[in-house]
Chain A
Amino acid sequence: MKPAISIRNLLLTQGDFNLAIAKLDLLPHRIYALTGANGAGKSTLLKTIALLTLPQKGTISFPRTKATSLSQQRQIVTLVEQTPYLLSGSVYDNLAFGLKLRQIRGQEQQKRIDHALARVGLDGFKFRKASELSGGEIQRVALARALVLTPQILLLDEPTSNIDSASLEAFEALLGSLPDDGMTVLFSTHDLTQPERLGGEILLIEKGRLIN
């Protein structure tokens, strides 16, 4: 089976920090949890796979797609950062941003936005101002903004860090269901029990290197 993400001989140097991944293949429709201490390189690896940070050496490819250019590849990979930035305007504006870039408008746009907001438990938030949301709501909107695009690869940087314990179970159930929607999910977490609950495979990273 062709992997969804394939990394070979990757080297990224940022100051004193080196991210070095000799080989990594992530299979499609699976969920992977990236764990490691603070500063181990989790966020850097996610940003590199999201093609926001380009490595000095090595390759990152998505063998199951025909996308070759950076802008094409960025349309199949979406990253939700740990402290997401919501664009100015309403929740709707945020979710519509990526859809407009993909020429999805009108009824289809409305339908997708309503569905994505319902999935993250934010029905009725469509016309709320982004600047008036709490930390947990921002994180949910950012996830909905990614889900609405139905990316082939979804990268999540500590997606549950701002989610309260009462909502955690539903949120984890949502994350666990994403591979069934055809997504390959890679998320970072400090909670070592979370991958087990989500049925995910653990990738341990230490000082910029993956420990098998």
Chain B
Amino acid sequence: MGYLLDSLSTALGMIGHFNQEVLTAVGTSLYTSLVATLFSTIIGVPFGAYIGLKKFSGRRAILTLLNTLMALPTVVIGLVLFGLFSRQGPLGPLGLLFTPWAMIAGQTVLATPIIANFVLAAVNGSDQRIMNTALTLGASHFQAGVQLLKEIRFGVMAAVIAGFGRVIGEVGVAMMLGGNIRGVTRTMTTAIALETSKGEFAFGLSLGIVLLSVALIVNLFLNILQQR
């Protein structure tokens, strides 16, 4: 028990004194996760809205695929992208492997189905009169779709936050595609895994507390949005 309390005290001290190593890992985590969430939002929001609004053959297959992708293990995404980005892979010449951009690519793949699915659910649950109202006032289908997204903006924001929550806490993609390089691709999650295995429990704990705080803030936002 004393060991745990001592570690906790050291961890809180590291956070309080803005330990450089902790800050760098937090910065890398936030940077990769925010950029990946941005890309996933740009792809996932219109895709989810389109699938929700359009009836076409093959829609059911896409819905099944989206649901499957939601449950995709992060190491599988890491494995596939590792194959693409590795020196012998088709995207090897780009030299992306073990850079933040490889992690961003993996996290984008991870978050896009989540955001698309949440937006799809929000569109399916929206008032059917929204589209009719916009159309009868002279909007094109595209303009009416944009208006629909404005009307269900809290659902869209919840989708984005859920996507961010998924990538900030993942370890598989960051480890396999980032390589856990100190000061470059070391994130909160990969640092926790590495430092704890090295016996630096207090350091891992300090990052765990920060990660938990970020997750808590994300979930608080999500709850507030869902209640509106």
On A, residues with C-beta under 8 Å from B are: 47, 50-52, 71, 74-75, 77-79, 81, 83-85, 87-88, 97-98, 101-102, 145-146, 149
Other 12 A-B pairs with CB < 8 A, given A79-B136, A102-B138, A145-B137: A47-B132, A74-B138, A74-B139, A81-B132, A84-B133, A87-B130, A87-B133, A88-B151, A101-B137, A101-B138, A101-B139, A101-B143
- B133: which A residues are within 8 A, CB to CB? 81, 84-85, 87
Q: Contacts A81-B132, A85-B127, A85-B130; is A149 near B138 (CB within 8 Å)?
A: yes
On B, residues with C-beta under 8 Å from A are: 127, 129-130, 132-140, 143, 147, 150-151
- B147: which A residues are within 8 A, CB to CB? 87, 97
- B130: which A residues are within 8 A, CB to CB? 85, 87
CB distance from B128 to the nearest CB of A (A): 9
Q: Are B139 and A84 in contact (CB under 8 A)?
A: no
Q: Are B140 and A71 in contact (CB under 8 A)?
A: yes
- Among A52, A84, A87, A149, point to the contact of B151 (Cβ < 8 A): A87
CB distance from A135 to the nearest CB of B (A): 14
Q: Are B150 and A88 in contact (CB under 8 A)?
A: yes
Q: Contacts A52-B132, A81-B129; is A97 near B140 (CB within 8 Å)?
A: no
CB distance from A21 to the nearest CB of B (A): 20
CB distance from A150 to the nearest CB of B (A): 12
- B135: which A residues are within 8 A, CB to CB? 51-52, 74
- A75: which B residues are within 8 A, CB to CB? 138
A77 to B133 CA separation, bound complex (whole angstroms): 12
A97 to B147 CA separation, bound complex (whole angstroms): 10
> Closest chain B residue to A47 by CB distance?
B132
- Among A50, A83, A88, A102, point to the contact of B136 (Cβ < 8 A): A50
CB distance from A13 to the nearest CB of B (A): 16
- A47: which B residues are within 8 A, CB to CB? 132
Q: Are B136 and A85 in contact (CB under 8 A)?
A: no
Q: Contacts A52-B132, A87-B151, A88-B151; is A78 near B140 (CB within 8 Å)?
A: no
- B151: which A residues are within 8 A, CB to CB? 87-88
- A83: which B residues are within 8 A, CB to CB? 129
CB distance from B208 to the nearest CB of A (A): 40
A47 to B132 CA separation, bound complex (whole angstroms): 9
Q: Are B139 and A52 in contact (CB under 8 A)?
A: no
A97 to B144 CA separation, bound complex (whole angstroms): 11
A42 to B136 CA separation, bound complex (whole angstroms): 17
A52 to B136 CA separation, bound complex (whole angstroms): 7
CB distance from B147 to the nearest CB of A (A): 7
CB distance from B189 to the nearest CB of A (A): 38
CB distance from B101 to the nearest CB of A (A): 38
A208 to B150 CA separation, bound complex (whole angstroms): 36
- Among B129, B134, B143, point to the contact of A84 (Cβ < 8 A): B129
Write 22 A-B pairs (CB below 8 A) sorted by A numbering.
A52-B132, A52-B136, A75-B138, A78-B137, A78-B138, A81-B132, A81-B133, A83-B129, A85-B127, A85-B129, A85-B130, A85-B132, A85-B133, A87-B147, A87-B150, A88-B151, A97-B134, A98-B137, A101-B137, A101-B139, A145-B137, A146-B137
